[in-house]
Amino acid sequence: ALRMPARVRAVPTARAIASPRCARVARRRVPRPPRATPRPDYDPKTLFSPAVMSDFVPTHVGEMYGLEKRPSPFAEGGSLWEFGLGQRFIDNRDSVSLNPLRTSYVGASEDTAFSDERAVRAGAREEIYYDPKRVKAAIVTCGGLCPGLNDVIRSITTTLEDYGCEEILGIKYGFRGFFGDEAADANPLEAPMKLTSEMVEDIQITGGSILGSSRGGADMPAIVQKIEDMGIDFLFVIGGNGSHAGALAIDKLCREKGLTTSVIGVPKTIDNDILLLDRTFGFQTAVDEAVKAIRSANIEARSADNGVGLVRLMGRQSGFIAMHAALASGNTDVCLIPEIDCPLEGDGGVLAHIKRVVERQNHAVVVVAEGAGQEQLGMIGETDASGNPILQNFAKYLQQKLKDAKPECDIKYIDPTYMVRGCVANAHDSIMCTVLGQNAVHGAFAGFTGISVGSVSAHTAFLPIPRMIERERLVDPDGRMWHRTLASTGQPDFF
């Protein structure tokens, strides 16, 4: 959406934002909206193209509760028509193919091998189901940090204001921030904060999230009660698989209570491990930063006699960062990811291969995803606050085993984990964040709920959350990209 001329407001200072007075603004109780009853004839399948399969049909809270439709302010005759968005409205019958590639197999026809699953195309609609002047929206960032969080917060905030929204809250430090203003000794820095376009104008040039983030704290019934008490119409949840599961739980509870709140997810993970999507925001930036670490390891390894640069990268269950960074660097000799077995011993094992590489060229660069090699160490059986398994450090274990097997090796261990996730988004990710934030707002005003917005086949789509969180997206050990990586590193297929 094109940016509208900003309304003239005083920019709050940091002291003002943190003041008890500002906190009271955020926690002021508002009249509860009346609970709604679903229409008996509600059938979401009739709203979209027949080409959209039933499990990709999103919930439409506007039609479910028969909310009043009104022209978008960007529609012809509306106050913002002159800015041009109205000439590019999306129809609900528009769809995006999840699988544009046709493939043929020996003994099978082309039609047999091709399945054209389609999802609803994202974008602004000509009719909306909420009055922008009366909408109260909230944004929350959950889970670990990721490049681009501030870009998404900025995009959602400015697009809401472009529609005409005046009440936008930032929930501090993840889901637990819904209760940051309730304790008698509550810290005003933990209370929900009011967001404006002036406040978020330059936040994209810093890493992290101005709202903070955290894992856990997801008492869903209590959060939904708080949503009702605060009169929140839109909730935007920026997070990964666990956070989207939380968003889905909130959405279901809102429907059970008859609340007309629209819950929209924006997928965030540098691991790129969310199903259906081309890429998640922050991933490309993480790969860029990881490549810098690999090239530094290469310089260290080449500058030492029998030098080995050992780089540990993020990738709890999916090895996309390690694979892409190893391929992009051009000087990685071994890449180990969670999706493959990593046998250390024997002539065909990892240690023997690294020793051969060092003996041949007097140095080696090894890249290890954090979730690799867990079969060697055994799972701890514990989980973090988000429910993710706590992993053992296989890279450190490999360092010691290599030192034992070849004592003359000079091993340089590099772990850029927090540098990779806490940096500013690159241009590619920043653009993606802007597009995702805009479309999240368009989806909310269009009456959708229980969806996330993501890039599919180079287009932006509205995707039902249940399909996205069925499992983690993994590297295919038989896929082309992994075999390109093997060709680049020259390592055997340990798998």
For residue range 310-345, list pLDDT tens digits in order: 999 999 899 999 999 999 999 999 999 999 999 999
Look at residue 297 and tell me whether its pLDDT is greater than 90.
yes
Q: What is the pLDDT of residue 28?
A: 46
Look at residue 22 and tell me whether its pLDDT is greater than 70.
no
pLDDT, one tens digit per residue, over 432-449 is 999 999 999 999 999 999
Distance CA 340, CA 163 (A): 48
Which of 271, 273, 333, 415 is an active site residue? Answer: 271
Residue 153 — pLDDT band, cuts 50, 70, 90? very high
Residue 95: closest CA among 463, 467, 445 = 463
DSSP 98-117: S-------TTS-HHHH----
Distance CA 152, CA 436 (A): 7
Asked if 473 and 318 touch (Cβ cutoff 8 Å), the reply is yes
Look at residue 411 and tell me whether its pLDDT is greater than 80.
yes
What's the chain's average pLDDT? Answer: 88
Q: What is the pLDDT of residue 25?
A: 41
Look at residue 46 and tell me whether its pLDDT is greater than 80.
yes
Residue 336: closest CA among 449, 473, 486, 469 = 486
Q: What is the pLDDT of residue 20?
A: 35
Look at residue 131 and tell me whether its pLDDT is greater than 60.
yes
Query: Environment class of residue 170 by beta-carbon count within 10 Å: exposed (0-12), middle (13-18) or buried (19+)?
Result: buried
pLDDT, one tens digit per residue, over 249-291 is 999 999 999 999 999 999 999 999 999 999 999 999 999 999 9
What is the pLDDT averaged over residues 209-216?
A: 90
Would you call 271 a catalytic residue per the annotation? Answer: yes
Residue 451 — pLDDT band, cuts 50, 70, 90? very high
The gap from C-alpha 423 to its chain's centroid, in whole angstroms, comes to 15
Q: What is the pLDDT of residue 418?
A: 86
Provide CB contacts within 8 A for 311, sequence distance 6+: 290, 293, 294, 297, 365, 366, 367, 368, 414, 415, 416
pLDDT, one tens digit per residue, over 342-351 is 999 999 899 9
Q: Where are the alpha helices (DSSP H) in 320-462?
A: 320-329, 350-361, 374-377, 394-405, 417-421, 427-445
The pTM of the full predicted model, rounded to 2 decimals, is: 0.88
pLDDT, one tens digit per residue, over 367-403 is 999 999 998 887 555 555 555 667 899 999 999 999 9
pLDDT, one tens digit per residue, over 105-126 is 555 555 444 567 899 999 999 9
What is the pLDDT averaged over residues 185-189?
A: 69
